[in-house]
Amino acid sequence: MPSVYATFDCLVNSSAFGEGFSNVIGEAMACGVPCIASDVGDSAWIIGDTTQIFPVGDHLALAQCMRVVQPHNPRQRIVDEFSVERLIQRTSRLFGKKVLWLTTGLGSGGAEMMLSQIIHGLPKIQHAVVSLTCGGKYADTLRRAGVEVHSLDMPTGRPTLRSLWRLFKVMRQTKPDVLMGWMYHGCLAAVIAKCLSSKRVSMIWNIRQSLYDLKLEKRGSAFVIRMLARLSWLPQRITYNSQLSAKQHEAIGYREAKTQIIANGFDLTKWQPGTPRRGLIGRFGRNAAMKDYSTFIEAAKIIHAKHPEAQFIIVGTETEKLDVPSFIEVLGERHDLPELTASLNIAVSSSSFGEGFPNVIGEAMACGVPVVATDIGDTRWVMGQTGHIVPPGDPQALANACMEILEADITQDWVARERIERHFSLQNALKQFETMFMSSDSLTRRSTVLPTYQPCVE
């Protein structure tokens, strides 16, 4: 048949009834043959172009379709939607558990990126996502991958009756086996969703930041953090991406027996060493108080005074609002971060609080870029004996560490890359999430869960 289809300029399926999913249409399209079909069964869905569909028994409409059919290559639609690989992927989901992810949002950020990577990396599990706020960068990415994405369109920090009703309808529609709360507000939403569920459902929380002082948090966030401490007997697991974060939350009442550490993982095919620009120092991250851009800017002034040949770039959402000297280039939000990161001579993380497991550090290390970072969250754990760690809020110490690297003419750190490969690969993280989701035993045990990673002795 493939050789027969290859002789056609067009294929017509004029069936009057009885068709479900017409193989002849799919076969012809896979051979690059345009198709015209009667509106029977799923013909319109397969072809994907209503101009090539005619009413059953209407020979005039069929003739018109024949006259106007445009030569094109429909093979890509079959590859994208109806290949054997897609069939296997969709079918395998039926045998796995269904996880409903509840997250604060799907915009730019390390937590949102990690959620998207986990979902893409676990095709055996059926996923659906609820975003408390509207839209976001990763909403479209997930939908294109065939994942259900629901937005509650909740005003920031203000739940409404309408959003709760939407959550109730999502629960009835998806009927999940596992609720996965992602970040603080997502964890609280998971508690509400569990109360709305008509069936027994497991619940896991994921905490993704450190907690140095509740006074540093917004009032609403601090309230949610305290409330979750009191409700922490409810989830089967409380997962953290940071060892320090787990200890800090346990100190204010989060149940220690529920703790499981799953560190962030990095896609080593995406983050790879490149050709660094000598003297290029970069600070990547959104414009937020916890990132402490003022310390980086002051350090850059100190470095520039002694090394005027050094170059500085800042990349991240809303960083255009920063007041910087002329020798610092602000690029705003970018979508070529792997390439930009690999081009750095030094990657800097100047955060003063709030970081749990800082992604920018792991990404730079995966690219073999020397790192200078403040001693916040699990930075020491991630970096091990690589790079330079300095106290937060100390521009002089930050500048000195950068100048030491510049003056030693170090442009790449292969030991850092090897450390990420050994301890923090994406595949490692995916394996742990999959085990947790798929094993009913792992969600029902009440014994203490030892952290997956222990501090490395170098």
Question: What is the Cα–Cα distance from 209 to 178, expressed in whole angstroms?
Answer: 22
Do 217 and 345 belong to one domain? no
pLDDT attached to residue 286: 92
Q: Which of 233, 261, 289 is the last residue of a domain?
A: 261
pLDDT attached to residue 450: 39
444 occurs within a structural domain:
no
Number of domains in the chain: 3
Do 104 and 167 belong to one domain? yes
pLDDT attached to residue 136: 84
Do 417 and 285 belong to one domain? yes
Query: What amino acid occupies position 380?
Result: R
Do 390 and 287 belong to one domain? yes
Do 118 and 243 belong to one domain? yes
179 occurs within a structural domain:
yes
The DSSP output letter for 157 is T
Dihedral, CA atoms, 159, 161, 164, 166, nearest 10 degrees? -120
Question: What is the Cα–Cα distance from 127 to 143, expressed in whole angstroms?
Answer: 11
291 occurs within a structural domain:
yes
Question: What is the Cα–Cα distance from 458 to 449, expressed in whole angstroms?
Answer: 25
Under 8 Å between Cβ of 89 and 99: no
Do 166 and 312 belong to one domain? no
Do 72 and 98 belong to one domain? no
133 occurs within a structural domain:
yes
Paired residues of 150 in beta bridges: 130
Do 75 and 95 belong to one domain? no
CB-based burial, 83-115: b 16+ in 10 Å, e otherwise:
eeeeeeeeeebeebbbbbbbbbbbbbbbbbbbb
111 occurs within a structural domain:
yes
Question: What is the Cα–Cα distance from 70 to 66, expressed in whole angstroms?
Answer: 9
Paired residues of 148 in beta bridges: 128
Closest CA to 105 of 142, 151, 147, 144: 151
Question: What is the Cα–Cα distance from 199 to 358, expressed in whole angstroms?
Answer: 37
| Predicted confidence pLDDT, tens digits, the chain (458 residues) | 888 988 998 999 999 888 888 889 989 999 989 999 999 888 888 888 888 889 999 999 999 988 888 767 788 888 888 888 777 666 655 556 899 999 999 987 888 999 999 999 998 888 999 999 887 889 999 998 889 999 998 887 677 889 999 999 999 988 999 999 999 999 999 999 999 987 889 999 999 988 888 888 888 899 999 999 999 999 999 999 989 999 999 999 999 999 999 999 999 999 999 999 999 999 999 999 999 999 999 999 999 999 999 999 999 999 999 999 999 999 999 989 999 999 999 999 999 998 888 899 999 999 999 999 999 989 999 999 999 999 999 999 999 999 999 999 998 999 999 999 999 999 999 999 998 987 744 454 433 343 443 434 34
Segments forming the whole domain that contains residue 206: 89-261
Query: What amino acid occupies position 316?
Result: G
Do 168 and 220 belong to one domain? yes
pLDDT attached to residue 453: 37
457 occurs within a structural domain:
no
Q: Which of 48, 82, 116 is the last residue of a domain?
A: 82
Question: What is the Cα–Cα distance from 29 to 5, expressed in whole angstroms?
Answer: 9
Q: CATH number of the domain at 201, please.
A: 3.40.50.2000
375 occurs within a structural domain:
yes
Query: What amino acid occupies position 375?
Result: D
439 occurs within a structural domain:
no
Collapsed DSSP state (helix, strand, coil) of residue 102 = strand
Do 114 and 70 belong to one domain? no
Element (H, E) at 225: helix 219-231
Q: Which of 34, 64, 82 is the last residue of a domain?
A: 82
pLDDT attached to residue 455: 39
Do 247 and 290 belong to one domain? no
Under 8 Å between Cβ of 247 and 259: no
Do 212 and 298 belong to one domain? no
Element (H, E) at 92: helix 84-95
pLDDT attached to residue 276: 95
